[in-house]
Structure formats: C-alpha cells, structure tokens
Structure 1
Amino acid sequence: MKYSIILVFFIILGACKNVDSKVISIKEDVTFLSDDKLEGRQTGTKGEQAAADYIANRFKTLGLAPKGTEGYLQKFSFKPKTNPHQVVTYTVKDGDSTITGINIVGFLNNKAENTIVIGAHFDHLGYGAEGSLHRGERAIHNGADDNASGVSVLLNLASKLKNANTNNNYLFIAFSGEEMGLLGSNYFVKNPTIDIKKVNYMINMDMVGRLKADSTLAVYGVGTSPILRQTLKAHNTKFKLIDKESGVGPSDHTSFYNADIPVLHFFTGQHEDYHKPSDDADKLNIEGMELISNYIFNVISDLDNNGKLAFRKTKNESENVPRFKVGLGVIPDYLFDGKGMRIDGISEDKPAQKAGLQKGDIVIKIGDSTIVDMMSYMRALSAFETGQRTKVVVDRNGKQVEAEIEF
C-alpha cells in the first residue's frame, strides 16, 4: 500500500515536469486517474489523496489560480450517514469513523462580473464500497467512466478556456464524496470560496466516457434557464440528444440547482460495468469524450455574451417515481427512446439471468402491464412482492420472446 502510493507520487512528478513541453491528452488523464495504483479513489483514502494531488498539479500547470481553503484543496470532514434520510453533519468532534474528503478548486480569473462553475466528481468506490454491484472477490473499482472520464473532460475544457470566452470567470471543481451522497458539492455550495450569488451557471460531467455507436448523449437541466435548450440544439451536429428538463438528479449538479443556479449535466449512459471492477480505461470511447468536450466548449462560447442567465425552477421528475420492492436484476438503457425498456446489462444470479433474458432485449410487457418507457416499467414492478412469479415479454431482434420471472 505505502509503496504503491509513493510510486504514484513519482509518476505525478514526472507528468508535471513534462507538462510544459507537451499537452496532456484526455486519454493520458483518464488512464492515470483510473489506474490500479489509485486503488479506486474512495473518499478519505490515500488513493483519493494521490488523485487530488494529481488534479491540483494539473490545475497549476494549466495556469488556474488556487481557490480552495488550503491552496487548491477544500477539505471537509464528516461521519457517514447511518440511514439514507439522515442529514450529513460536516463538523465532527470525536470518533474513529470520521472521514475527510477533498474538493480540488481552481480559478480562471478574467476579471468578469460572473463565474461559470465546471465540475466533475473524482471519487469512486475503492475496493467495493457501498453501492458496488460486484459479487465476486474483493477487487479495485477503478471507475474509469465513473468518473475519471468527467474529470478528464474538465481538464481538457480548462485548457481550451484559458485564452477564450473572457466575459465570464471559470471555477473548475473536482468533487469528493459524490458516491456517498453528493457530499463535496453540497459542502462547497454551503461553504463557497467565491460569491455564490455571482455564479452564472454550472456544468457537470458524470460518466461521459462511453458514447455509444448511435452517439446518444443525455443532457439534464435544460429547463433550468430559458435559453439552454435552443443553445444546445444550435451546436449539435454530432449527437443524438436526449434532453431532460429537471435540474435534479443523482449527481453534483443537483447541489447547485438547489441553490437556484442554472445547470447542465452531461451523461453518456449506464452500462454493465457500472460500479464494478470492470469499469476500466480500455473500454472508454476517447474520441467520444473529445467530441463532448468540443460540444460543451461551443455551448459555453455561444453563451459568453448572454450575461447572467435567468434561473427557472423545474419539475422534479424523481418525485413521481413509483416505489417498488423487487427488480429484474438488469441495467436499463436510460437513453433508449423507443417503446419499452431496453436491457443494457444483466446482473449475475438475478431473476432476469435465471429467466434467460439477454442484453439488448426490450421489455414490452410484465404481467398484465404494457411497458412503453421507464416510468411504466417501474410502475409495473411496484405491483409485485418478493417470491411472486409473472410472465415477461421481450422484443429480441424483432421477435417476441416470453419468459417466466420469479422475483
């Protein structure tokens, strides 16, 4: 453990010495951040500290000014929640269970009135913290897509914005504690190192490394300011866009939306390696990440002369999600826009696998309920209890296949 972290620092030092002579690519950043040597970047670990030092050094070489509370770093301590409804207390006095997370904050000062926040979380699940979907032997969860990909695009955007679009300042933040409940972004919003009222809008990138063959890109928060949807469409020449109005979702943009700040959240979709040790850099679409970086840069450029964007409240779509006690044991394709619920991955030893369902199947019926989208899929599941059986019909390559499921 100690040897591996020392080795990481030597690698960081070498990377930083060479940074002036060559541009660090998205591929180089994401490969470093998802290396086994960082041991999954779990919040509060030496691996996360090593990743934080790497990002802080990258900020420095990119010419960003430190804007944390200790140079580039903004540390926060907390005790993990004992139940999902508990509010996290950041100030703690005693106890071995205290964890310290680190946000890394860099500032590009254009002496403008307002500031755009560009963020991505850099923590992950270590050797398999709560939230892991791995059921085998203890293994490092490198989180290449989740979310070394977002941090790497953030660093690429910082390099692009150094000499462009000077009507706003830029605050780049790599957040800690996202996997434990958006803790780093929540802490920053409550303890900002700039005037939070001067934040123009916030861009968040979480899992942007797996752009699929059909180039589907989801963008959440398009309803949080009246101008956002038309701006996104005006610059889209590469993607099949799926836009969502709501500013609320399971990533760090939510913390800023709750502070009445317009947000855009970029996401290329879940996959069967999500929260598993197999989320490695060799499975990333590097060219797709570069396309997303260029697209976000063009959107920022278009908005550069628009002053401070108006904020608009949106409907919280998650409030209408039905509660259910059972599941098929699949990873849904959240970006699928056809009729039904497309399966993007199958979990081992779960009802779907036991029933012979396959990746790519489109669930069109559960019991007596017709499935037309994710909402109807969840509503159908809410009618069942553990131990019950029912029929499931899927569309498999144009043919209807029926299977019996036991929850």
Structure 2
Amino acid sequence: MTRFHAAASALALCVATNASAAETPSKADILATYANIAQAKYDDSLIAAKMLQTAVHALIANPSDATLAAAKAAWISARVPYQQTEVYRFGNPIVDEWEGKVNAWPLDEGLIDYVDATYGGPSDENEFAALNVIANPNFTLSGQTIDASQITPELLAETLHEADGIEANVATGYHAIEFLLWGQDLNGHGVGAGNRPWTDYASGADCTGGNCDRRGEYLRAVTDLLVSDLDWMVAQWVEGGDARLALTENEATGVSAILTGMGSLSYGEQAGERMRLGLMLNDPEEEHDCFSDNTHNSHYYDGLGIQNVYLGSYTRIDGTPISGASLSDLITATDPALDAEMKVKLANTMQALGRIKSTAEAGFAYDQMLERGNAGGEALIMGGVNGLIDQTKTIERIVTKLELDQIDFEGSDSLDNPNAVFQ
C-alpha cells in the first residue's frame, strides 16, 4: 500500500532560536501531556465500558425493550471516549498491536450468530463466515474439534477471534457487542439501523432467534472481555507503564510517534479506508458502526482525538479538563503562522465532520449518504475526506519544520491508487 511521506534531513528534533527558552515547551513536557491524556482517555473508555457491562448484565437478567434500549445507549456512549483514543495507534506499537482486540472491523457476523438468508454462507475467503457459534456448541477449526459448550472470554479471545487467521472473523470488541445488540442492518441505503428484538434474550417460549441463553452468554463474555482489555491498556499508560516508557525513552522518537498517529489516522485510516473507500464502493457495509448507524459519531470523535492531541487538551467524561504543554505550543514558539494554519485546518475538519454528525442526527444516516448518485451525501463525506487530507499536508509541514526523521503515514488505495480498488 502506498504511504503518505513526510521527510526531513536532520536526525535530531530542533527548535528555532527566535523564541526564548521560557516560551518553548520541553519535549519531555509535551510527551508527558500526551501520555497523561492517553491515560485519561483509556480510563474514560474503561469507565464507559463498565457502564455498558452493567447495562448488558441487566439486559441478560431481565430482557425487555427498556433494558435493550439502555444497553444500546450505553454502547453509543462508550464509543465517545474510545474513538478519541485511535490517534494513539500507528505511532505506539503497544496500542496498534492491541487495537484489533477491541475495535476490529468489518466483521463476518455469521461467525457469531444467525443472519438473514441473503447473507450467504461459507466462502473460499472465509470458511467460518456463517459458523454461528451461538447455535453450535461444537465445531471444527483448523482440523481440531472445539468445545464451545461454554462461551467464555477465553474462548472468544484465544480460539474464535480471527479464527483460522482470517481478519474478518471478528469475535471480540465493540463491533461484536454492537451486532449482538442491534443485529444486522438489512435496510441497505434505506432508513433504519439493525432491529434485533429483545426477545432474542428471552427465556422459554418467548425466545426468538433460538439459543437465547447462549446468546446471553456470548454477550456477557464479550463485554466482560472488553472491560478487561481496556483495563490492561490503562495500565500501559500510568507512570511506569510500558506504553509511557516506550514513548518517553527518546524524546525525538516520542514526538515522531505523536505525529505518526495524527497523520496516519487523518490520511490513510480515516480519510481513506473509513470514508473515501466506502464512497467509492457505495457500500452501506463500509461504514464503521454499520449495525447501529453510529458511524457519524465514530468519524467525529476520531477527528476530535487528532485535534485534542495537537492542542494538548482533553475534557474527561465527568467534565474534568486535562491540558498541558503541547505540539501547538512548540510550533507557536518556532513558527506561529504554521501553528495557526494547523489550528485552522483542524477546525475546518471538525466543522466538516460536525456537518456529517448533525445531518445524520437529523435523520439522514451515514449509510444513506453512501448511496450511489446521492450528491448531498457525497458532498458531506468528501468534505470530511478533503479536510482530513488537507490537515495531513500541514502535519507533514510540521514534521519538516521540526527536522524529524522520515515518517511514513499510513496510506490507502482509495487515495493513492484508486484504480486498484476495483481490480
């Protein structure tokens, strides 16, 4: 895959001499702010996931329209802090290697539960696309008989997730939970999200979809696993945690990690794989939160995560502000015009993503925006794409200004080689 290149000639991180030392923040302080905000974001994600866990347990114990609606609302709330952490990927290997456990997509949902007849069955690409582990307490995987009579976090994480080495076999994380709460979105580009009935968790004769007890077991296990995975990541960012130590071991490398995360999420991941690709394919399945129709929020909070890393400022879910020395402060001390440019572009991107968000909340969902020939939807999405690309160009200029080693931002065929998308 082609990558977006940002390069400069020198090895060391330097600052211009046109600002006094008192005005120029230390790189150590910038890295400390970045790590402190990472810790706070993951802690907020953990807090929100525990609220989701409570709601899920209530749904399983007492299935009803009300408890299902409460669990869905808790899931949507849990996405707000988590999506703001995605800017820590790419530049931080500990995060990037872990992220697939909690936010992998798209998924072949037939691996987990029943699906509509139009979904199809096993394919050459994925033999387990319609496994339906909820309905099958025993199955064969890679030549071994698997005992799935009890659905546990260990079964999901160690056996089922990415079964047979196939990335689409997503068995854990937010999107597996999302599917179990909403079910498939069978509306295509039409109005409506997934519409799983609460009776899919009912007991006895009220049970729909079959295997309601095992569906509850799966939902409990996958939600408990999410909580434990987030708890682990919080520990990586506390004082003495591995992620914090890796970040601060070398100051120039640490600053490069910040910019790598910003540029890669802006360009290849969000502008490309999550937005432009879906628009090129006009595929309602190519939206990040496809079961719940929550993609507008996922895109918005991804963008906000990039902005608050640059500004060194984050507001916790309880309203507590966290701020400190930032990249913005460093660039202001060296090139105020470049800092102003970056702030304007970040604001423009957030305005474009905000238009997508507000329009979706008004009733024009993201999967409707993706429909071929929908000029209004295309304009909204491309506004976000163009804003993200434009801000990446300024991130590239910041890398050059700081005289960092070459940074390879993640790319996407949808941006770098569009013809390859259809080959």
TM range (shorter): under 0.3
The structure with more strand, counted as a fraction of residues: 1
Q: Which of 1 and 2 has higher RCO (CA within 8 Å, sep 6+)?
A: 2
| TM-score, L = length of structure 1 | 0.22
